[in-house]
Structure formats: C-alpha cells, structure tokens
Amino acid sequence: MPPSTTRASPAKDRAGPGSAYQTAASAQKDGGRPGKASGRRISLFSLALAASATATLLLAAWCLGGGRGGGHTAPLLPTFRSINGTLHPRAGPVSPAEVAASAAEAAAMFGTAFDAYLTHAFPHDDLKPLSCSGGDSQGGVALTLIDSLSTALLLGDAPRLGAGLAAAASTVGGRRVLDFDVPARVHVFELTIRALGGLLSVHAALTRPGNGALLASLPPGTPPPAVLLAAAVDLGRRLLPAYDTPTGLPLSWVNLRSGPIPEGTRLTCAACAGTAFMEMAALTAATGDGRFAAAARRAAFALAARADPATGLVGNTLSVDTGAWARTDAGVGAGIDSYYEYLLKSYLLTGDEAWLGAWAAAHAALMRWCNAPTLPPGRGGDRSVPPPWRVDVDMGTGALAKPWVSSLAAFFPGLQALAGQTRAAAAGHAAWAATWARFSGLPEAVDALTGTVRHPTMGGYPLRPELAESTYA
C-alpha cells in the first residue's frame, strides 16, 4: 500500500467456506506450493468477496475472539482483558464465552462507528471523530459508507446494511451519492480497493444463488443490488484510463471527471501498480468486459518483469513511462506490501500458473535477501539472533536500506500461511506478537534489528489490521 495510507485491505479478505481459498489452503504442505482449486474458475461471489477492501479488520475481530485464533495457547500478555465489562485471561485456550463476547464487542464497535458516520459525516468520505464532522479525502464519494457495506453484511447486521444501501442510493444536495462524475483528484489504489471492491463485494453477496434469506432480511424498500453494480461499472470506467501508459503501469492519481491529470506525477509505487487484479477481474466477471482484468494483469506483470536480475527483488517506486526505478528500497512494508499479496491470491482465485510463478520467484527473493542482519552478542538488548521478519534492503545489492521495519509488514506471516509456508509464518508472527506484547500495541515502526526500539518520530498507532489478520491466518 502507499506509505501514507492505512490499510483495511483491502485486499486481504478471506472468502468463505467452500471458496477457492479454503480449497487451496486445505491441500497445502509446509514449505510446499499452494494447492490449485481443482482447476476450476471460482464464483463471482468468491472473487469479489476476496477483493473487498473493508471487511478484513472487523472480520478478523469477529473470528479471532479478540485477536487470537481459537485453540492457540501461547499468551500475548500475562494479564486479563475486559470484554464488555467481563474479565477474560489472555493466556490459555480461548473459551467459547470469550469468542462470543469478542464477536459481540466487535459488532457493537462497528455499529457505533457506522451510526456515527451516518449521523455526523455522510455523504463525505471520512468521519472526523473529534469534531464530529465530515471530510473528503477522495473526492467526496461517501467512501466510508461504500467501504463499510460489506462489513455490515458479513456481521449479519441487516438493519445497518439496509440503511447503508438506502443512503448509497439516495440523493443529497441534488447529487446522487453513487455518482462518480465529480471533478476530483483521487488515488487509483484507494478507489480500487475500497470503493470498487466494496461495491462489487456486496453486489456479489446479495445476488449469489441461494441468498434469498439474506435479501429477505433487509428492511422494506431497500434498493436493489443492481444499483451497486451500475456504480461499480461507472467507477471502473473512470479508473481505466490510468492504465493507458507506455509501460501499462497505472498512474497514481486521476480526475474522476476528466481522467489523467496532465501536471500530475508520473511515478507510482509497487503496491499501487500491482494491487488491482482481483477487483478488476471481478468487474470483468460481472460485466463481460475484459478490458478491466486485462489492464490490471498487464500492470502486475509489467512490475514483476522489472525485478532486479541479480536479486529478483522489486523496488518501491518507479516511472509509469519508462519503468525506471525512482526508489530502490525493497521489502514487504509501505509502498510494496500488497503487490506480493495479490500475486498469490490472484493465482488462488484464477488458477493461472503465471501468477504462481511470479509469487514463487518473489517469495524466494524476499526470503533470501530481506533478512535482519545478525548483531554480535551484547548489542541490541543481547539479541544475537535477529527477528525473523522481512526488512527493507536495496533491491540491487541486498544491503540494509532502512534501520526500521514498518508495522504494515505484519501482514506477511498471514500471507505465508496462506501459501503453505507455515514454519516461516509462525516464526515471523511470533516476532510481531512479541513486539505487540512489548509495546501493548504495534508502533508504526520499530528498529529492524531487535524490535525493541520504537521509531523516535512515528509515534502514532492507526489501528492497523495486519497483525490481527496474520493471527487469524
């Protein structure tokens, strides 16, 4: 993801039971390649749900039982935590009561935030919690609403899902909320994973065969799912011109009304260029228009082709015109992370072996080159063994590029688990869990060599979902 964004990812949702994810994961062996979903194309529902940008955080909280998978016995903190006023031990197996309490707590938290947004910020993009007002970070397209509909659906919150759909289909100040014909500069990555993914996920879920009970549970007068698909098509067409570049790598920004911005930057990050296929493929599946999937696929493989020939690593930022690298730091943190995620998940979703080959090469390069250097005994808190996480290195030499590791990189153990690399995943997750325990939360960045020193200026904690997701995986 871009360095300045907070990921709900999008991009990191898991499809439900019987999906290609489950089929592939069940066939994996430690250290082996992910299984292929019986060579079958998956349903539009599974494709779009996996592409949803918003559901990860609340789905993880719902399933994790407060941040821990059921049955895990290793304590994160030797204390108790309060869930709705009841104390539960952190150590030991997660009890059914704790899982149920955590699920209820997560649902209540979502309800509070969703209601506050509709009351104080709709139809703006963002809710400002201190001033109880709205702000527009992406053109004023009600991005938080679109991004939250799939969460309401997954939580089974029919009243809020119905209210959200009604709000999305409404007209405010003479303008339709889902009208993307606005003269606004927007980030292609953000609108793809959050708005396009959000619209398609809910549309696919509501129109999935056998989901009559879900539709029947919605309040009377709820707009039909076709409203969401029409908006997704409109948005997809407005984002497509970003891919019309000499390399096929998309522009970072476009104007929703006029298209590419003549004076805009011609640089993009690896995550921005390589994180679109699942959403665009879902749009192709829904419409039959192959341009969407083709553009996103071309961009991802144009990026993969520009890996350094000596190390196999891709850098952080490059030109959409020439493909030349502007930033050569490589790793799994900000600006690169979801590129790796989409390589693997695009294979699992489509069965296309080209995606698997790109993922295997990229993962091998990361595991060979992006290791924290070993410190001599007596330095770094007497840690002579470095944390088993991926650090940022120079893509051409493998030399350490940054002394800090981003909390965004905490997603990577979950991705490795999905790929069947369970030993590496467990080791990486243990390092991140220890960092969480040390600081009672993940600092935005910690020192790459020991994980014991917080970044001196990046002091915030923006409630990122990456460690929760890896814990679930």
What is the C-alpha to C-alpha distance for residues 70 and 79, in angstroms, rounded to an integer?
18
Does the active-site annotation cover 190? yes
From 13, 98, 105, 190, the catalytic residue:
190
105 catalytic per annotation: no
Q: How far apart are CA 405 and CA 428, in angstroms?
A: 13
From 13, 105, 147, 466, active-site residue: 466
Listed in sequence order, the residues at least 6 apart from 338 whose beta carbon sits closer than 8 Å to its beta carbon are: 1, 7, 9, 10, 11, 12, 193, 271, 274, 275
How far is it, in rounded angstroms, from Cα 303 to Cα 408? 21
Q: Which amino acid is at 37?
A: A
**Is 147 known to be catalytic?**
no
SS (H, E, C) 321-369: CCCCEEECEECCCCCCHHHHHHHHHHHHHHCCHHHHHHHHHHHHHHHHH
| Cα–Cα dist 59/109, whole Å | 12
Residue linked to tokens 């309401």? 152
**Is residue 457 packed enough to be buried (19+ CB in 10 Å), middle (13-18) or exposed (0-12)?**
exposed
Check whether the bond before 309 is cis (ω within 30° of 0): no
Q: Which of 278, 241, 271, 243 is nearest to 256 (CA)?
A: 241
How many other C-beta atoms are found inside a 10 Å radius of the C-beta of residue 305? 11
In the numeric block, the tokens 């915030």 are attached to 460
| Catalytic residue, candidates 13, 105, 308, 444 | 444
Return the exposure string of 94-112: e unless at least 16 CB atoms fall within 10 Å of the residue's CB, then b: beeebbebbbebbbeebee
Q: In this structure, what token pair is assigned to residue 266?
A: 């011609």
The number of beta carbons lying within 10 Å of the beta carbon of residue 432 is 26
Nearest to 243 by CA among 306, 293, 304: 293
Task: Give the torsion sign (CA, 34, 397, 387, 452).
Answer: negative
Structure tokens at 121: 């910020």
- The residue annotated as part of the active site, out of 337, 392, 447, 469, is 337
469 catalytic, yes or no? no
Q: Which residues are catalytic?
A: 190, 337, 444, 466
